[in-house]
Structures are given as structure tokens and as C-alpha cells.
């Protein structure tokens, strides 16, 4: 898949330059000077539908990953893969623990496993928690806020912070597009990626 991350919030995604339209970066430092990476977006869909996009298999695979299984609950799990041939239970799937949730209000995630060869050390990713808030704006619109907390100082954290800021912004944009253009066609997406790689290789 074009690897999205939505978070070690969800996932380890490749960094993308710039901020997609509609995504606001409201990152800040808290009173203890800890970095909080925060993105916000308005989605043209009712809150129950947006919540389902994060918490059901059909919802999650419609925008974030072609293979996914969500077990909603405290200490539940979001297991996903960007490879079309993957199966749930494969050892190299991405796994994000649902630390806590409040229906249609809140998800708190902790990444427990990323595939081998990922760009960041698991010990660094282990420090991060991702908090996703859902707000009903009325008129069939939902406001989503994603906050990454736990970033320390140093080169490892700096690289991960920059990576997820751009990757998660692209994830938000993909979420918004899902409710405008419909679910992602993952086979077509994979074909486009292959063609893009082949084109670059030929130049």
C-alpha cells in the first residue's frame, strides 16, 4: 500500500512532504516542555460513520490498509498490513494496542509491533501513545484530532516526529477522501505504485 501510517498512531508510513489540504498542524509543547504532535481535520461524514472507519474491519480497510482486523475494547487490537497478500495473524503485521476507548469520542493507541526493517527502533516507538478524539460538529460533519505524546529529545525522536507528522497528515487526507470519492481500490493503488516505480527507474 502506499503505506499510510495513521499513527504508530497507527502505523509506520513513509514521510511525505507538506501538509495536505484541510489538515491543520496544531502541535505544541506542554507545560513540562514535552512535545505533543497534533493534527486536526474536519470530515464530511457523521461521527458514527467516522468512528466505524477506525473501529471496524470494513471501515479501516476502506481508507487505511488493505488488510486489517479490529478488536474494539480496552486492550483490544488493530492489526493491519499494507501488503495485499498478507493474512491476519502473519507475524510481520503491524499491531496497535487499543489502550482505552470511549465510543464515538476517544481512542488511545500503543504500537506494539512494526515489521522488520522499519525506519525506527521499536524501543523508541514504544514510548509513544496516540490519542484520537472525535467531535460531532453537526450537519453530518466530524472533527478528528490526533495527538502523539511521549516524544523525547534526540535524533531518534526527532526523525520519528518529522516522519509521523507528514505521514499522519497524509493519512488524514486519505480519510477525508474516503468520504468524498469512496473506499480505496487497493489493487489499483498497488498498480499505480508499481508504474510509478518503473517510471522513475527508467529515467
Q: What pLDDT was estimated at residue 195?
A: 67
Q: What pLDDT was estimated at residue 5?
A: 44
Whether pLDDT at 202 is above 90:
no
Q: What pLDDT was estimated at residue 200?
A: 60
Residues in the chain, overall count: 203
Average pLDDT value for residue range 96-121: 88
For residue 24, the 8-state DSSP code is E
* pTM of the model as a whole: 0.84
User: What HEC string does the chain produce?
Assistant: CCCCCECCCECCCCCCCCCCCCCEECCEECCCCCEEEEEEEEECCCHHHHHHHHHCHHHHHCCCCCEEEEECCCCEEEEEECCCCCCCCCCCCEEEEEEEEECCCEEEEEEEECCCCCCCCHHHHCCCEEEEEEEEEECCEEEEEEEEEEECCCHHHHHHHHHHHHHHHHHHHHHHHHHHHCCCCHHHHHHHHHHHHHHHHHC
Q: List the CATH code of the domain at 24-189.
A: 3.30.530.20
Model pLDDT for residues 174-193, shown as the tens digit of each residue: 999 999 999 999 999 888 87
Q: What pLDDT was estimated at residue 7?
A: 44
What region does 182 belong to: left with phi over 0, alpha with psi -120 to 50, or beta?
left
Cβ–Cβ < 8 Å for 152, 127: yes
Q: What pLDDT was estimated at residue 189?
A: 85
Q: Residue 120's closest CA among 94, 98, 84?
A: 94
Amino acid at each position: 500500500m502506499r503505506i499510510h501510517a495513521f499513527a504508530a498512531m497507527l502505523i509506520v508510513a513513509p514521510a511525505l512532504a507538506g501538509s495536505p489540504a484541510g489538515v491543520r498542524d496544531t502541535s505544541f509543547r506542554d507545560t513540562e516542555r514535552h512535545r505533543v504532535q497534533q493534527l486536526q481535520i474536519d470530515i464530511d461524514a457523521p461521527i458514527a460513520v467516522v468512528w466505524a472507519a477506525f473501529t471496524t474491519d470494513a471501515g479501516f480497510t476502506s481508507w487505511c490498509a488493505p488488510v486489517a482486523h479490529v478488536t474494539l475494547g480496552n486492550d483490544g487490537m488493530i492489526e493491519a498490513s499494507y501488503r495485499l497478500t498478507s493474512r491476519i495473524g502473519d507475524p510481520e503485521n503491524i499491531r496497535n494496542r487499543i489502550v482505552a476507548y470511549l465510543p464515538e469520542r476517544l481512542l488511545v493507541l500503543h504500537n506494539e509491533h512494526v515489521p522488520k526493517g522499519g525506519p525506527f527502533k521499536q524501543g523508541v516507538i514504544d514510548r509513544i501513545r496516540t490519542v484520537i478524539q472525535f467531535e460531532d460538529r453537526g450537519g453530518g460533519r466530524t472533527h478528528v484530532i490526533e495527538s502523539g505524546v511521549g516524544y523525547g529529545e534526540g535524533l531518534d525522536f526527532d526523525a520519528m516526529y518529522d516522519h509521523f507528522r507528514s505521514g499522519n497528515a497524509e493519512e488524514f487526507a486519505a480519510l477525508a477522501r474516503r468520504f468524498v470519492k469512496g473506499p480505496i481500490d487497493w489493487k489499483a493503488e498497488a498498480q499505480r505504485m508499481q508504474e510509478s516505480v518503473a517510471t522513475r527507474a527508467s529515467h
